[in-house]
Amino acid sequence: MTIAEHDAVRHPSHYTSHPSGVECIEVIRGREYRVGNAAKYCWRAGLKGGSHKASEDLKKALFYLDDLIEHPSHADSGGYGHVDGLADTMIERAVAERKLSNWMQSHKSDLTAADLALAAIFAGDLHVARRNATVALAETSVGAAA
């Protein structure tokens, strides 16, 4: 099965349709829960259920970002609590992150605020991620009102 094929359970289209060709799980696998969720909700904003759902997804991303900012002692430290397969998981995630980063570099003028929030999450800059997710939410609200 290719990633382009829709599998609502294993490879939902709202996680596999990023133009970079990277699937969301490839870059969040092994991360601390809240970091992964913030990234996941920014990733799928606008790709699942229209503007109302995009707004809800961005609010969820902001919830996790706020929690990470308010409780930094539990922030992402790699999230790896096991040894089996650790090297393979780290390498796979690094390759996916590089592919996503390269795509973002080559499409700078086309990046959305949600894309910028995602990049900031992966860079570990939670305050910038929060600011960009807030902008994305405002843009979604304006789009829904139009």
CA contacts within 13 A on the Cβ side of 135: 14
* pTM confidence score: 0.76
pLDDT bucket at 76, cuts 50 / 70 / 90 = very low
Instruction: List Cα–Cα distances, 4 to 12, 19, 40, 117, 135, in angstroms.
Output: 10, 11, 19, 25, 30
Domain positions in the chain: 13-145
Q: How many CB atoms lie within 10 A of CB 23?
A: 19
Q: How many CB atoms lie within 10 A of CB 132?
A: 26
Structure tokens at 66: 């706020």
- Residue appearing with tokens 């002692």: 73
77 three-class SS: coil
Summarised one tens digit per residue, pLDDT across range 88-138 is: 777 888 888 889 999 999 999 999 999 999 999 988 899 999 999 999 999
**Over 90: is that where the pLDDT of 146 sits?**
no
pLDDT bucket at 143, cuts 50 / 70 / 90 = low
Give the model's pLDDT for residue 37. Answer: 93
Asked if 59 and 137 touch (Cβ cutoff 8 Å), the reply is yes
| Average model confidence (pLDDT) across the chain | 82
